[in-house]
Amino acid sequence: MNYHSEKLKSGLYLVATPLGSARDITLRALDVLSSCDAIAAEDTRSMRKLLNIHNIPINDRPLLSYNDFNGDQVRPKIFEWLDRNMAVAYASDAGMPLIADPGYQLSKQAADRGFYVTSVPGASACITALTLSGLPTDRFFFEGFLPVTKEKRRHKLKELSNIHSTLIFYESPKRLIKMFDDLVAIMGENRRAVIARELTKKFEQIISGTLAELYAIIQKEQLKGELVVLLDRPISTGLTDTDVKAELSVALSKMTLKDASNFVAAAHGLSKRYVYNLALSMREN
């Protein structure tokens, strides 16, 4: 037995669970899961499996599903438990609770009501991916999942495009090509990027390259599993849109729109699509 049971202080315990390997769980997390009076989990099936692997009996303790769809209905029950001085563990499907996870309102409202709230830290997909990416780790910005619609997604990417930090996103395999189509359009073809998939699992894979190179890869091969996408900080060219438009203006007086765009892009190592869109906006205006 790798855990010990003890009487816990009443309150809400935010328990990190493994990303893939069931052994990536802390001894303290096992202690809390074995000792708490009730468990709320994003996925009760995953939680039961984890408890079984580590031989932690659920006995007659309540195990409640808490997710994006039922949170408003379930929180009052959890607060009722806390009012009765119970120790309640909350765990997401994988990784740290509250990180791209439905537990935020539960944690905030529990704290607002004066209940004891504490974290039992552990695995996190975004931090694991960052450490494996080869990208700068001194400053990073976690965005999580981008908006579903193209218009909102591109608007959000424009907001993020000039942040001088490594950017970290979560994405589903089904939306990956759409995401990269927008990344290339907004961030440029030459920005360094990494796709990290199936972290800590048997088929873990880290794919590095420019946005253009990764875009070409995912168009040929459908990546499966849990995905983290990371972007290097912006390439510093020292040029503003106004500078690029000034050079385009000269080039357009002698060349076609396409040739002028390619010429200016090549001269400064800029994304062809980015320069072409600027040239197009100049013509339209």
Task: Look up the CATH number of domain 126-231.
Answer: 3.30.950.10
The yes-or-no answer to whether 11-123 and 126-231 have a common fold is no
pTM of the full predicted structure?
0.82
pLDDT means per 10 residues, the chain with 285 residues, are 88 97 95 98 97 96 96 97 98 94 96 98 97 95 97 96 94 97 92 96 95 96 95 79 87 88 78 85 83
pLDDT at 98: 95
- DSSP secondary structure letter of residue 70: T
pLDDT at 1: 60
For residue 131, report the phi and psi dihedrals to the nearest 5 degrees: -65, -25
CATH entry, 11-123, from 3.40.800.10, 3.40.1010.10, 3.50.7.10, 3.40.50.300: 3.40.1010.10
CB 61 within 8 A of CB 38: yes
pLDDT at 237: 62
CA gap 28, 20 in Å, rounded: 18
Q: Is 117 in a helix, a strand, or coil?
A: strand
Domain boundaries, the chain: 11-123, 126-231, 241-284
pLDDT at 162: 84
CB 68 within 8 A of CB 55: no
Give every CB contact of residue 210 below 8 A, 6+ residues apart in sequence.
189, 190, 191, 192, 193
Token readout for 223 is 């990546």
Dihedral sign, CA of 34, 39, 41, 45? Answer: positive
